[in-house]
Chains A and B, each alone.
Chain A
Amino acid sequence: MAEPMGFFTDTSVCIGCKACEVACKAWNQLPARNGGKVQLSGISYDNTVELNGIQWRHVKFIEDFTPDRSTERWLMMSDVCKHCVQAACLEVCPTGAIIRTEFDTVVIQQNVCNGCRSCIAACPFGVIEINPETNTAMKCTLCYDRLQAGMVPACAQACPTQSIQFGPISELRQRAQQRLEQLHAAGVMQARLYGHDESILGGLNAFYLLLDEPGKYGLPANPQLPSRNLAPSAALSAAGAVALGLLGLVGLRKQRMDRLAAEERGQGEGSHAG
């Protein structure tokens, strides 16, 4: 396997320009919602509102003001699939459509996905949705096709302030640590990293520098794999028992799919976008 690659998103320099959203849609040829004819959301400057099957990058805008404006902050964050090291979507996918690539990223193979939605329920970050044009589950591929050609993902390439940084995870972690120390030294004590180490789902290959608690950004403080969520309730219900059985199968399946995926890559396949 090549070195694990991913994103470090430094929200302290995000200016909410949405270049990442547009670059993503342009490269991956994703449609605008309703041809672009949509209504104002009323949520600050956010009108795409969520990550979904046609929205693989999404910039969040959080207006954090007290009535007297003694606190005044406008937090911005470009959200994306976290490409978890322990990826729930990959674990639950019954068809093996979701694979781990040689870059340690998580990709849904569109020619294998049958649109069963298991991954949608499993993702603790609400990243995946059905693309209504293809009826398959879609999310960020970390520009797998560009990576295979030695290129930087479209969003990172377009980001004007280097809020979205792409590179080998080990290097990004170092950079993130330095930036964190710099911010702490400058008195920005609320700054913190999210997903940079194994504590969250074995590590997020798209990790963040945040300026407040994860909850402020709508991120779960301690996301869990569905297997852990399901375990207690499963013991109490027949449905749970079925689910447990399925999970067992999935576990076996995963090993096989990993092997298959590796063989496929050997044949130079695996790219879906273009």
Chain B
Amino acid sequence: MAENHPVAYRYVAEAKRRGSKLISIDPRYTRSSAMADLYVPLRSGTDIAFLGGLIRYMIENEKYFKDYVVNYTNAATIIRDDFQDTEDLEGVFSGLKEAPQGTFQKYVYDNATWQYKRTAAWDAAKAREEAMKAATFAEMIQKMVPPPAEKDPTLQHPRTVFQIVRRHFSRYTPEMVEQICGTPKELFLRVAEMLAENSGPEKTMTFVYAMGWTQHTYGVQNIGAAALLQLLLGNMGRPGGGILALRGHATIQGSTDIPTLHHSIQGYMAHPDARRKHDTLRDYILTETRPTSYWANLPKFMVSYLKSMYGDAAKPENDFGYDWHPKIAGDYSFMASFHAMALGEIKGAFFFGQNPATSIHASLIRRALANLDWMVVKDNFEIETAAFWYKSPEVQSGELKPEQIKTEVFLFPSAQVAEIEGTFTNTARLIQFHEKAADPPGDCRSDAWFTHQLALRLKKLYADSTLPRDEGFKNLTWDYDYAPGTYPTNTRIQGEPDVMKIWREVNGFKTETGELLKGFGELKDDGSTTCASWIYCGAYPEEGRFLPANHTPDPDDKPGTHLGWGFAWPANRRILYNRASADPNGNPWSERKKLIWWDAGQKKWVGYDVPDFPATKAPDTPAKPGATGLDAHDGKSPFIMIADGKGWLFVPVGLQDGPLPTHYEPMESPVPNLLYPKWQNNPIAKVYEHERNQLATIGDPQFPIVLTTYRLTEHHLAGGMSRWLPWLAELQPELFVEISPELAAEKGIKNLDMVRITSKRGTIVAKALVTPRLRPLTVAGKTVHQIGMPWHWGFMGISVGDVVNDLGAWVADPNVQIHEMKALLVNVEKAQ
């Protein structure tokens, strides 16, 4: 966190000043470790074993927060009789089956057996058939409400979630953690004790993570394991609790809210998908709506979104233009797209502030780029992606010849953040507006300008088309030009779109009158409201009141929720699911940790934050049987977006690779899976097959060393914002590889020697930085060396170096298709 989020680390420093304890768990001793009370080394890629060990410790030693677990999680819920755990099937769950063609997987799961046991028979297919006949969306959803689940609040029933979780993690003993992670048992137990001591009614504890947890073929399950542990300890929905995701760069949160993701549209609605039952709008709504949660309102969000896309052309009789909306038909993620490009299936590409020529398995990406007819690069400088055709290692080696590369490259200079006005959304879902400081130089333009101007030109080109496939594009609303006479006069740049007009559409308005919406509670499913992103609704509640521009902090940091600073979606809530900050009866768990509570006199929820709960729903409100939405939950169910209102220890739907986190080894590992010898890897991980995408075998003697990659404070991602800047380039001027003194001695490597690092996919060179901050670990009885490399470098700019991602593999997590650059196998040798 100190390395990559020094500005956010100020809060850690402040917490330390106030006496908080800080633990750093990392394969390397980092700048964050330097300030920690406890540094804990582990082998890269073994986080589930570590977290699983903590989960077992909390259960076996009864350190979990019992009142919280029983009332606020699904611990008491009983799972179907035919569910089989990894304990029953030696490392996989019930439902594993061969994958269909084109998924890049060997296996996939059918999650039918992972479901709750219902108190009555329930035929979802039949319910769906009935629902399709309903007249309104609301009626449709009502038909999809299942009978309640069976429960045992004593948690004793062997098929309760609690007992399944207990059995599942029973083999994650401290000894096993030591064997797998290489973390000394005593150190692991100290962590366990510190977490337990700092959780409960009086205290809370938080996890902060970044790519160290995500960039694995089980990245999502790493986070899931932390969530499970935090629910057991009662650290969700409470101040100082939670799991904090540190993002890769500024407004990454915003780019998933208003998504650049391939598989979702605005506000975390699923992207219409030809592979799912999404044929019509009704199909989409039936498939995607969770009837017994706040998501029961999805028809309102979706119809309002379609109105924002197609405006007046979106009508009830044409399903609000649903048929015009693009549908995905496959895996369009980063690696899948480059895989298709490598096979010659993609003709053109846009790269805005992205440098794929130095990204995962970069040598293969650069070869793929040579298959394009054209590409557009919009960046600050002539980055590696724009220069691949004459400067890449493949051209230097003669494997690619510039005269044979037909890719036409269009390089557009980009404006920088201080040269653009607009909003950022940070990881706390906080939207903040920033003004621009200066005009960009020369022809540099904002991404908004570029997209706006491109769209205007395309609209013109398509205007006369009579093809049915172009109807959607023709109907797409695109009214972002400034109103006549309102264009800013303090700039020489012409043709920028009006940011506040875009915000009108994002926030939403009444379709007829144009009146801005005050919150997503006003959304309708009949087309009378227009709203691009329901979760951002209310940020711009009326003309002249734009809450992301608010800059009023709480005086003297009291109470510290700072509701007057920016706007946090949804509805300016600072802590999600904050009903959990009060006990089942609505009283704060403790004075020290109070946030919101039930005021019996006023008959409403009050406190320091905006309640993430129906404002006047009393704690003793019973659930209404058969009801949809939040009426289906009682007054003690804080998790309002979840079907049963409870935090899920066991996840029956939503995850591709199992309802519980399970330790698998990285796709390349020096050791076998000690917990489940029959299943070395995540059984449904993705591998994008290509002759150049080979993997090392388990304990491969040619590649005995674990490589983990990371970033440095001094540089930014692929370097487009740092390697060209003298003041930053001089701070970390060259690529290096961090090697422990022990490994250096073994290999005869001295500090600053040039060394060669080789994986199954490529070889690069770098200078050695010999440092005790890395250390060998004892794993499964043998010494495992780990080395570390920052990956910022490439062959352009002031500071140049080999591309570390050349070593990477095209393998992916099955949920979100993230790669595994955090744990590879390599060898290291002195270069001369």
Contacts and interface: CB of A to CB of B under 8 A. Distances in A.
Contacts of B113: none
B9 interface: yes
Given A36-B733, A40-B736, A162 B771 contact: no
Of residues A45, A63, A163, which shows the largest number of chain B Cβ atoms within 10 Å of its Cβ?
A45
A162 B730 CA distance: 24
A55 B10 CA distance: 25
Contacts of B711: none
A67 B727 CA distance: 35
A182 B20 CA distance: 13
A67 B741 CA distance: 9
Contact of B13 (A13, A39, A182): A13
B713 A18 contact: yes
A48 B773 contact: no
Contact of B775 (A26, A32, A36, A69): A69
Of residues A15, A32, A39, A42, which shows the largest number of chain B Cβ atoms within 10 Å of its Cβ?
A15
A253 interface: no
A22 B713 contact: no
Of residues A19, A39, A63, A160, which shows the largest number of chain B Cβ atoms within 10 Å of its Cβ?
A160
A36 B34 contact: no
Contacts of A22: 727-728, 731
Interface string B698-736: 000000000000001110000000000111111111101
Given A35-B798, A160-B10, A40 B772 contact: no
A33 B32 CA distance: 28
Contacts, number: 118
B302 interface: no
A182 B736 CA distance: 38
Contacts of A16: 2, 31, 34, 713
Contacts of B727: 21-22, 25-26, 32, 36
Of residues A38, A42, A73, A75, which shows the largest number of chain B Cβ atoms within 10 Å of its Cβ?
A42
B460 interface: no
Contact of B35 (A15, A31, A160, A182): A15
B799 interface: yes
A179 B32 CA distance: 20
Contact of B726 (A21, A36, A48, A72): A36
Contacts of B9: 15, 160-161
Interface residues of A, number: 42
Contacts of B767: 40, 42
Interface in A50-107: 63, 65, 67, 69, 72-76
Contacts of A75: 34
A76 B713 CA distance: 14
A179 B13 CA distance: 13
A13 B16 contact: yes
Contact of A15 (B31, B736, B752): B31
A48 B2 contact: no
A72 B39 contact: yes
Interface string A3-34: 00000000011011111011001100001111
A34 B732 CA distance: 14
A52 to B, nearest CB: 13
B17 interface: yes
Contacts of B33: 74
Contacts of B736: 40
B769 A38 contact: no
B17 A182 contact: yes
B729 A36 contact: yes
A38 to B, nearest CB: 5
B729 A74 contact: no
A148 B773 CA distance: 43
A48 B769 contact: no
A47 interface: yes
B19 interface: yes
B16 A36 contact: no
Interface string B357-397: 00000000000000000000000000000000000000000
Contacts of A37: 729-730, 733, 798-799
A35 B10 CA distance: 31
A44 interface: yes
Given A31-B726, A40-B769, A74-B31, A161 B731 contact: no
Interface of A: 12-13, 15-19, 21-22, 25-26, 31-40, 42, 44-45, 47-48, 63, 65, 67, 69, 72-76, 160-163, 179, 182, 186
Interface of B: 2, 6-7, 9-10, 13-14, 16-17, 19, 29, 31-35, 39, 712-714, 725-734, 736, 741, 751-752, 767, 769, 771-773, 775, 798-799
Q: Closest 8 A-B residue pairs measured CB to CB?
A: A36-B726, A36-B729, A32-B726, A65-B772, A17-B6, A161-B13, A15-B2, A74-B34
